[in-house]
Structure 1
């Protein structure tokens, strides 16, 4: 399991929280900005620059990217409905975050309110990339941005995602045991 550390920086002026995750020699910086609606932060150039954001993952519906020449953007319109298959968006979102990771970038993941979709994506990323269990990933994100509340469908899908990861891990261990005993 990778070593994982989490810390917060707060700005008194705008109540911004930037979450940075240090994983071994690599630093993944995911910005969770407590700045009212999450699209408010995505449209505040001073805040984005202050926190050295380089990449913005916009998973909102109907929110335009404001500073196309200043940041690398990925826009994926995801509906905040329990029946939306959030897991189907994971590969594209995770690839974008990994791209930023390779460039030592800082990623702001935002939706309309910063409560459900963005939180589910960040929790899923931590579960996938850093192999952090669902409960721990949820707690880390909730600690950084207390207002998160992924909708019931997203929560169930994240639990299912955890179960599939556990099953995959178990299958790998069984395969290793078979190879050893051969």
Structure 2
């Protein structure tokens, strides 16, 4: 018997995709800005924002979470080659994950660690930039996971929150991973 769709703790990739494209008339749209504050103290941005330490200091960034850490290769283009040393001179705390924006990549392995890093930044009255290459898929997925894990939001609520401030396009595998997280969190809350 199929699961009821009215249950807010049940979602499909199509449900989440519809929430993303709904505000733009049913189309995926790229962000108009290099970065946006999507939740108090949390910004999602692109590679160029992350590489400009003067901009980061100007907008008050104290922490950077790189969801695309690594060097571009013949195999995959889409990494941002930074590390903690890159930000040491400007006093910005850093965490990076070597995540690829591929359907085969398991980004969920970083959900808890990313959420903890963001939470520490906010608890210390900091401001965190979560970025990947374009600031639309890996970074958005990690912020949505944070809102689910630390703020008690469902996947739908978290996507609506982020999408109301920035155009995002998480890949379908990442959306499925968010649905899986949604189900796990709902099961934990019922016990």
TM-score bucket (shorter structure): 0.7 to 0.9
Cα distance in 1 for residues equivalent to 2:187 and 2:128: 30
What's the C-alpha RMSD, in Å, of the aligned pairs? 1.6
Report the structure, 1 or 2, having the larger strand content.
1
May I ask how many residue pairs the two structures share in their alignment?
146
Q: Is it true that 1:91 corresponds to 2:96 in the alignment?
A: no
Structure 1 residue corresponding to 2:43, chosen from 7, 26, 31: 31
**Unmatched runs of 5 consecutive residues or more in structure 1:** 1-13, 22-28, 172-182
Q: Please report how far the alpha carbon of residue 82 of structure 1 lies from its aligned counterpart in structure 2 after TM superposition.
A: 1.6
Q: Equivalent residue for 1:19?
A: 38
Larger relative contact order, structure 1 or 2 (CA cutoff 8 Å, min sep 6): 2
Cα distance in 2 for residues equivalent to 1:16 and 1:48: 10
- Normalized against structure 2, the TM-score is what? 0.71
SS of corresponding position for 1:128 = helix
**Shift in alpha-carbon separation, 1:15–1:113, aligned structure 2, 3 A:** closer
Contact 2:34 2:48 in 1 (8 A): no
Structure 1 residue corresponding to 2:56, chosen from 48, 56, 66: 48
Instruction: Describe how 1:36-115 pairs up with structure 2 within 5 A.
Output: 38-60=46-68, 61-62=70-71, 63-65=80-82, 66-70=86-90, 71-115=92-136
In terms of Rg, which structure is larger? 1
Contact 1:32 1:144 in 2 (8 A): no
Structure 2 residue corresponding to 1:135, chosen from 153, 156, 159: 156
